[in-house]
């Protein structure tokens, strides 16, 4: 996925080349849950934006602040107005990502969060993965070409130095709107070689790709999807691991260009 650009291919390429050579300045961190967001907000000393850049009445929340040389914006889709639970899943994630890109014009998106992992592919609880590419596992449209549209495979920004320096695991990420995994979802993930499964990344990638913003997907494995399926309870330890991963990635990004990642 390339940085912003909307005119001709040549203009796009020039903008990509320029963006790749100047230090990253504005970052958009997209998280799905309040308990994922708050430890990062505290660690990076961000404060809630009370003059919202979002439409009046939506539950979306933005935290902002300067951390080292970076202008950080962290957004989460807030709580469902009638049920009071975090707005997890693809629809809120894509909406808040779209509105945030429009308002903030970030150089880079980091979609961070918790995820399930596949033991057979080497994932263990506590592992931190950076996705090589992301796809949907629950959009089955068995018609030629629409099947590929449903899969929605998109590549993340290539980050070999980041992966090496922080010793992150790399693998394919699958997204579906259910926490539960159906046998069809599982078949799709096996066919797609997925190592981790979440509920937002492919939706964030879709929007980032539409608006040409490079994006990185950082996921901490909190439960195992194959073999004995375990669904983890919320635990502060897991969110602390996510906070550490986001902080390390942010520290690494500081002062670097996209092409240094
Ligand atoms: N499968 C799918 N999603 C998740 C998961 C799993 N085993 N563990 N944690 C998640 C993430 C999703 O991306 C949602 O934001 C949230 O946690 C669901 O509780």
206 pLDDT exceeds 90? yes
Question: Superfamily assignment of 23-260 in CATH?
Answer: Nucleoside phosphorylase domain (3.40.50.1580)
Tell me which residue of 148, 123, 131 sits closest to 222, measured CA to CA: 123
Model confidence over 93-107: pLDDT tens digits? Answer: 999 999 999 999 999
Identify whether the C-beta of residue 95 lies closer than 8 Å to the C-beta of residue 54: no
Residue among 85, 94, 111, 116 whose CB has most ligand 1 atoms within 8 A, to mutate: 116
* Closest to 179 measured CA to CA, from 95, 83, 88, 241: 88
Cα of 58 from ligand 1 centre, angstroms: 23
| Residue-range domain boundaries for the chain | 23-260
Q: Please say if the pLDDT value at position 203 is more than 50.
A: yes
Cα separation, 113 vs 207, whole angstroms: 17
Which of 14-18, 70-74, 181-185: highest mean pLDDT? 70-74
Phi, psi of 87 (to 5 degrees): -80, 75
- By C-alpha distance, which of 198, 167, 192, 190 is closest to 32? 198
The residues carrying an active-site annotation are: 36, 223
Residues 6+ apart with CB under 8 A from 249: 110, 162, 166, 216, 218
Compute φ and ψ for 167, nearest 5 degrees: 55, 45
Q: Is 223 in the pocket of ligand 1 (CB under 6 A)?
A: yes
On whether the pTM is more than 0.85, the answer is yes
Question: In the prediction, which pLDDT does 99 show?
Answer: 98
Pocket lining: 32 vs ligand 1, CB cutoff 6 Å? yes
Neighbouring residues of 64: CB distance < 8 A, sequence distance ≥ 6: 46, 47, 49, 71, 72, 73, 74
Q: How many CA atoms lie within 13 A of 116 on its CB side?
A: 25
Q: How confident is the model at residue 48 (pLDDT cuts 50, 70, 90)?
A: very high
Is ligand 1 within 6 A of the CB of residue 173? no
Predicted confidence at residue 5, as pLDDT, reads 45
**184 or 228: which carries more pLDDT confidence?**
184
pLDDT tens digits, one per residue of 130-168:
999 999 999 999 999 999 999 999 999 999 999 999 999
Q: Does the beta carbon of 33 lie inside 6 Å of ligand 1?
A: yes
β-bridge mates for residue 129, sequence order:
169, 219
């Amino acid at each position: 996925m390339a940085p912003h650009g909307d005119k001709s291919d040549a203009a796009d390429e020039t903008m990509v080349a320029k963006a790749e050579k100047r230090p990253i300045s504005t970052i958009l961190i997209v998280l799905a849950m309040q308990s994922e967001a708050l430890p990062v907000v505290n660690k990076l000393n961000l404060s809630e934006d009370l003059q919202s850049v979002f439409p009046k009445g939506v539950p979306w929340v933005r935290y902002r602040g300067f951390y080292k040389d970076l202008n950080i914006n962290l957004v989460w889709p807030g709580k469902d107005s009638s049920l009071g639970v975090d707005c997890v899943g693809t629809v809120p994630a894509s909406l808040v990502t779209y509105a945030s890109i429009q308002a903030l014009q970030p150089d880079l998106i980091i979609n961070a969060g918790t995820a399930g992992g596949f033991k057979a592919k080497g994932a263990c609880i506590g592992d931190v993965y950076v996705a090589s590419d992301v796809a949907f596992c629950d959009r089955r449209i068995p018609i030629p070409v629409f099947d590929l549209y449903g899969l929605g495979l998109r590549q993340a920004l290539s980050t070999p130095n980041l992966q090496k320096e922080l010793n992150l695991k790399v693998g394919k990420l699958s997204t579906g709107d259910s926490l539960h995994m159906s046998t069809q979802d599982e078949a799709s993930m096996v066919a797609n070689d997925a190592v981790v499964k979440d509920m937002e990344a492919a939706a964030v990638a879709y929007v980032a790709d539409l608006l040409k913003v490079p994006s990185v997907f950082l996921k901490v494995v909190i439960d195992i999807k194959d073999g004995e399926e375990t669904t983890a309870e919320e635990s502060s330890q897991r969110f602390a691991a996510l906070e550490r991963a986001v902080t390390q990635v942010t520290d690494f990004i500081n002062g670097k260009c996209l092409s240094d990642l």
